[in-house]
Amino acid sequence: MTENSAASFFQELDLFEIDMPGGQKIPFKNNKALLDLLNIQYPHWREDGHVTSVPIARVPRLFLHNLQMSKQLAKEFASLQKGEGGEIKLYRLLKDAKYSNGNGVVIFPNVNGREIFKSTMAHVEIDTVLTHPSKGIFVFNVKAVGGRLTPQKLKGDIERHGNFLRKLSQYSSDNPADLIPIHSVVCSMHDDNKKKFSSLLNLEHDRDQVLIFSKSELKPDTFLAAWEAQLNTLPDFDDKESFDILVARLVALNSIESSLALIHDQMASNYMQATNENKKQFDEFEFGEDKSLLEGHSLVGTDKKKRFIIWTQEQLKIIAFVTKHLLDPSRRGLRLLVTGCKGSGKTMLLVFIAKLTESLFNNPDSDCSSYGNVVVCDGYFKSPVLTELLKRLLASTGALVYEAATILLLIQATITIQCLKT
């Protein structure tokens, strides 16, 4: 059995559980419990004209602004940020659209199966999914940058995204027939040339359709009319039970590990600036082979989810200053004051410098190799939460994290030794 098979995907779903208050866990295969959870979390999701967003806002994939990054990094992330802008624009258009005829829709911005599944058939990154109770599922593919965009590339995305949602619907079902329409929507944000996507219309059949929106149709004053016109061309479907279960499963996956869970994980681990793309941020540094240490310690996360910290210009200046000092054989002590608001990355920078220093101290080829251990502590000795965070983030290194009680014992031991000597 390969990791690309539906069977391996279903086996993973068999193991999924939703954590509930009080330590209760809901198995993913329990459809009734998932539906109850959906109705509790979003009680108005069926109501006429109601638009539900899961999560309640679209979380960006890159939290840094261009002004915070170096020119080189800003250039490298330009296409990602332009794509982000297109996806945010579409999200707002769908959120503000009016829906009638007894319909309530649910929007899932940025459905990312890569963060949840090992099965490669579930390794999809869908810009937006919209569930419509009478027209089916709409899978949006937003393209804000032209050039290398080809119908062949889009065809592959359409097939993989549709297959993922189809299998999610068929999981643990006595009736695995494809009864829910899954429509693909291509949003071309950069021009009005729909003809170049005409070959995608060959993917249409009685159930699933391909819809194409051009730049001029994706504007606040034109989108609603164009969107309603497309919806009116689609037939209604009748399998409401399977539809409700699929919506509940998408909400459950979001609860397990999607945008909200990912942002919570990044906040808890203090790595809000992390991305899955490695960038050569230290190319301009003149530290020879030691640059590999800088890149290595910018890699964070677990074996399942690797992330690379994207440093701001100010943080890179501090890293360069400290590294230069550590590699200077004639150096003396260094006192450095780093200021910033809560959440600005001070602790993240401290952990990075501690790891870097510890690596240099333990490198026999380094001029720093004989300088002993690295010790990190909360300077006020008043925050057990910060101390525990530092211990967790530095657990894989040889750096020591001192606690207030440890410092007190050391002071008492010193006083005792001094008394004995006198």
Q: Where are the domains of the chain?
A: 6-263
Q: What is the mean pLDDT of residues 220-225?
A: 90
Q: What phi and psi values does residue 61 have, to the nearest 5 degrees? A: -85, -20
| pTM, entire model | 0.68
What number of CA atoms fall less than 13 Å from residue 35's CA on the CB side?
11
Residue 411 makes CB contacts below 8 A (sequence gap 6+) with none
Largest CA distance in the chain: 96
Considering only 74-83, 132-141, 273-282, 322-331, which range has the smallest mean pLDDT? 74-83
Pick the closest to residue 359 from 303, 288, 292 (CA basis).
292
What number of CA atoms fall less than 13 Å from residue 329's CA on the CB side?
3
Give the chain's mean pLDDT: 78
- Higher pLDDT residue, 274 or 359? 359
Q: What is the mean pLDDT of residues 382-404?
A: 77
**CA distances to 26, 375, 376, 386 from 382, in Å:** 39, 17, 14, 9
What is the rounded distance in angstroms from the CA atom of residue 384 to the CA atom of residue 389?
8
Report H helices in 4-77: 6-15, 31-41, 71-76
Tell me, what's the pLDDT at 260?
A: 55
pLDDT tens, 263-290? 555 555 556 676 766 677 787 777 666 7
Q: What is the dihedral of CA 62, 63, 64, 65, to 10 degrees?
A: 90
Q: What is the mean pLDDT of residues 371-384?
A: 73
- Whether 93 shows a pLDDT value over 80: the answer reads yes
Considering only 59-68, 162-171, 226-235, 320-329, which range has the smallest mean pLDDT? 59-68
Tell me, what's the pLDDT at 182?
A: 93
Structure tokens at 296: 């290595």
Structure tokens at 79: 């296409």
- Whether 176 shows a pLDDT value over 60: the answer reads no
Q: What is the mean pLDDT of residues 326-333?
A: 78
What is the rounded distance in angstroms from the CA atom of residue 381 to the CA atom of residue 151?
60
SS3 call for 127: strand
Q: What is the dihedral of CA 235, 49, 218, 127, to 10 degrees?
A: -80
- 182 beta partners: 137
Q: What is the dihedral of CA 31, 32, 34, 39, to 10 degrees?
A: 140
With vertex at residue 50, the alpha carbon angle to CA 49 and CA 53, rounded to the nearest 5 degrees, is 140
Structure tokens at 246: 């699929």
β strands within 196-321, DSSP E:
210-213, 274-275, 299-301, 306-309
Pick the closest to residue 249 from 113, 93, 57 (CA basis).
113
Q: Binning pLDDT at 50, 70 and 90, where does residue 77 land?
A: low
What number of CA atoms fall less than 13 Å from residue 68's CA on the CB side?
12
Tell me, what's the pLDDT at 422?
A: 41
Strand 125-132 and strand 105-112: the pairing is antiparallel
- Whether 367 shows a pLDDT value over 60: the answer reads no
What is the rounded distance in angstroms from the CA atom of residue 280 to the CA atom of residue 292?
10
- Higher pLDDT residue, 14 or 69? 14
DSSP 60: P
Structure tokens at 55: 């999560």
